[in-house]
Amino acid sequence: MGTDFKALAELCEKLEASSKRTLMANSVATFLKRLTADEVGAATSMILGRALPKWEDRTLEVSWATLSSVIKRLTNANRKDLADAFSRTGDIGAATKLVFEASRIRRQTMLVESPLTVLEVRRTFEDIAETTGYGSRERKERLLEALLGRATPVEVKCMVKIMISEMRTGFHEGLMELSVSKAFNIPHEVVRKAGMLVGDVAEVAAIAKVNGRGGVSKLHFRIFRPIKLMLAQRAQNVNEALKEHSGKSAFEHKLDGARIQIHKSGDEVRIYSRRLTDVTESLPEIKQQVQEEVEARKIILEGEVIAVGEDDCPLPFQHLMRRFRRIRHVKKMVARIPVKLYLFDLIYLNDQSMTDNPYVKRRKKLEKIAGGIPLTKQLITEKRLEAEEFLKEAIGEGHEGLMAKRLDGAYTPGVRGKHWLKVKEVLEPLDLVIVAAEYGYGRRHNWLSDYYLAARDAESGEFVIVGKTFKGLTDKEIIRMTERLKALAVNEERGKVTVNPCVVVEVAYNEIQKSSKYKGGMALRFARIIKIRDDKSAEEADTIQGVEGIYEEQFKRKAKPISLSNHVS
């Protein structure tokens, strides 16, 4: 018979309503316990909001347009009904539930349907993912119609949230590890470690159910299965990093590129991005370099790739991103935007995990194995002044700053701890003017929370947009800002409210990029509001000429951007 999907959907409702971590973990543990062996993996993924196994290449490819047309057909609701439900709930899943509850035709047909099981839902998700090519949208719609047609409102809500990847119950992988540990009576640490090694708690749960602690303890890294990355916290300056690392750190240049994880087994090499997607095809020259240079049978390495101009000088980050997005014309782009790899860590070597080794030991091994591939430049010191000099050198060479690494620190996948601390150059914030705003999503759907930021043109007096951000303000500040901006509104079109330029905000950012998005041709990267400057008037805001100056200043250190002709960009 199998477990009813309704039980899983009701569990997710319970998780959404609770914020008590232990209670949540206990409820999930109780649920996992009652599942059969072939249900555990699927249910674990779905509770975490995944329709398919984590490492599955296939995806559902179901857009909201497809989903909403099925929902409308099944419930007789129209666009306005859905929009109203959404503005009442701020959540697509909850809105769909409302619409299903209100539908009379549904209540009549529901009585004759047999309940859905967890495995039936998973199988339908697989069928939807397999439906590709010509006419696939219609076939997907038919599968969806058959699935949602048999579901109760609470089940529909759960499925919709899974399908649009917005489960948002607050129940994450870490808590799931705790539940698996409780459900199958395996120490939390053993489950956590296995989760880190295979990168998917659903797989660990399935093995826990069938093989218990013995099976889970035997799990290992797998080549060509990317591992969660070790992350860094921020330190204000090198001194803070030294203190945190008991007086001595290994400082490395922090390159402003893209992190990659490289897996090699024999001659086969695959490269994964920071988000753990396979980017091997975009980086053919890195693949070849690793094949030629790295001396190891089986290995997992980490490093940063940067785009380089003349003399190996780093190019702005946005050029590199063009390489990563590229699927066609890869060859042309390889010639136009050369990239360079710097290695900085060693995670796995010839069937042995390196993660428990201290940093210095991993780095030494890495040096031996890397062949002609450079490592990130490093300085081990206990002296603040030396470290500060090293920071200046890194920035002078066009890099982002330093990474301070604890000498005896293990490699901790998925953990943002203090073993790694980033020390960056701080750019002076800019005072910019809010010239327009958009309504947010979810909880923020009634608030103007996404702000267009502009600098003043000292010559014409106009305001020129240089960025957009929804970051930095508290809920209270956003509510107040919404009222203020509504009072200043001069136009509203498709959710975008244009306002009289009066409100000045202090904005931090990481870099100024060239951008065709805004008329001024520049955009701030990672803009975030740090303060509302009611003490300043719009006339006192920073000027677009000033922003241009900072942009130019960047290239005293970085190589000038190269122009990319349209047909390959």
Q: Which residues are catalytic?
A: 254
What would the DSSP string read from start to end of 190-213?
HHHHHHHHHS-HHHHHHHHHHHHH
Q: Which lies closer to ligand AMP via its Cβ, residue 256 or residue 450?
A: 256
Interface map 293-312 toward ligand AMP (x if CB under 6 A)? -----------x--------
With binding defined as CB under 6 A, does residue 254 bind ligand AMP?
yes
37-45, 209-217, 249-257, 546-554 -> range binding ligand AMP (CB under 6 A): 249-257
The CB-of-275 to ligand AMP minimum distance in angstroms stands at 11
Does residue number 387 form part of the binding site for ligand AMP (CB under 6 A)? no
**Cβ-defined contacts of 534-541 (< 8 Å, 24+):** 534/504, 536/431, 536/504, 537/502, 537/504, 538/433, 538/456, 538/463, 538/501, 538/502, 538/504, 539/456, 540/431, 540/504, 541/431, 541/432, 541/433, 541/454, 541/455, 541/456, 541/504
Nearest 5°: phi and psi at 349?
A: -145, 120
CA–CA gap between residue 210 and residue 1 (Å, rounded): 19
Return the number of the residue (232 or 242) whose C-beta is nearest ligand AMP: 232
Give φ, ψ of 415 to 5 degrees: -105, 130
C-beta closer to ligand AMP: residue 179 or 376: 376
Task: Give the Cα separation of 395 and 44 in Å (integer).
Answer: 45
259 binds ligand AMP (CB under 6 A): yes
Q: What is d(CA 282, CA 200) in angstroms, rounded to the nearest whole number?
A: 25
Site for ligand AMP contains 418 (CB under 6 A): no
When the beta carbons of 355 and 376 are compared against ligand AMP, the nearer one is 376
Q: Report yes or no: 464 and 546 within 8 Å, Cβ to Cβ.
A: no
Structure tokens at 431: 């005072």
Residue 530: its H or E element: strand 528-532
Of 161-169, 212-220, 252-260, 382-390: span binding ligand AMP (CB under 6 A): 252-260
Task: Give me the least distance between CB of 390 and ligand AMP, in Å please.
Answer: 12
> Do residues 170 and 19 make contact, with C-beta atoms less than 8 angstroms apart?
yes
In the complex, minimum distance from the CB of residue 273 to ligand AMP, in angstroms, rounded to a whole number? 10
Helix or strand holding residue 429 (H, E): none
Q: Taking the complex as a whole, how short is the minimal distance between the CB of residue 402 and ligand AMP, in angstroms?
A: 8
Instruction: Rule CB under 6 A: say whether 255 interacts with ligand AMP.
Output: yes
| Cβ proximity to ligand AMP, 177 vs 304, nearer residue | 304
CB contact at 8 A, 313 and 260: no
- Site map (CB under 6 A) of ligand AMP, residues 367-386, x = contact: ---------x----------
Q: According to CB under 6 A, which one of 403, 466, 503, 529 is a site residue for ligand AMP?
A: 403
- In this structure, the strands spanning 352-353 and 339-349 are antiparallel
| d(C-alpha 396, C-alpha 563), whole Å | 24
Choose, by CB under 6 A, the member of 139, 188, 422, 525 that binds ligand AMP: 422
User: At closest approach, how far in Å is the CB of 555 from ligand AMP?
Assistant: 20
The DSSP 8-state label assigned to residue 543 in this structure reads: B
| Paired tokens of 423 | 């020390």
Site string for ligand AMP, 512-551 (x = CB under 6 A): ----------------------------------------
Closest separation in Å from C-beta 542 to ligand AMP: 24
Judged by CB under 6 A, the residue of 5, 31, 344, 359 near ligand AMP is 344
- Calpha distance 223→333 (Å, rounded): 28
Measured at CB, which residue is nearest to ligand AMP?
259
Report in angstroms how near the CB of residue 250 gets to ligand AMP at its nearest. 9
Binding to ligand AMP (CB under 6 A): which residues in 215-234?
232
Is residue 511 at the binding interface for ligand AMP, with CB under 6 A as the rule? no
Distance of CA 138 to the CA centre of its chain: 31
Min separation Cβ 527 and ligand AMP, Å: 15
Stretch that binds ligand AMP, among 51-59, 220-228, 248-256, 318-326 (CB under 6 A): 248-256
Q: Least distance in Å: CB of 274 to ligand AMP?
A: 6
Joined together, the tokens standing for residue 38 give 């072939």
Q: Using alpha carbons, select from 307, 297, 303 the residue that is nearest to residue 374.
A: 303
Sequence-separated (6 or more) residues with CB below 8 Å from residue 84: none
Tell me whether residue 329 or residue 392 sits nearer to ligand AMP (CB atom).
Answer: 392
Question: For ligand AMP, which is the closer residue by CB, 304 or 511?
Answer: 304
Please work out the total of residues on this chain that contact ligand AMP, with binding judged by CB under 6 A.
10
- Tell me the one-letter amino acid at 8: L
Please report whether residue 252 would count as binding ligand AMP according to CB under 6 A: yes
**How far apart are alpha carbons 500 and 323 in whole angstroms?**
40
Which residues would be at the binding site for ligand AMP (CB under 6 A)?
Answer: 232, 252, 254-255, 259, 304, 344, 376, 403, 422
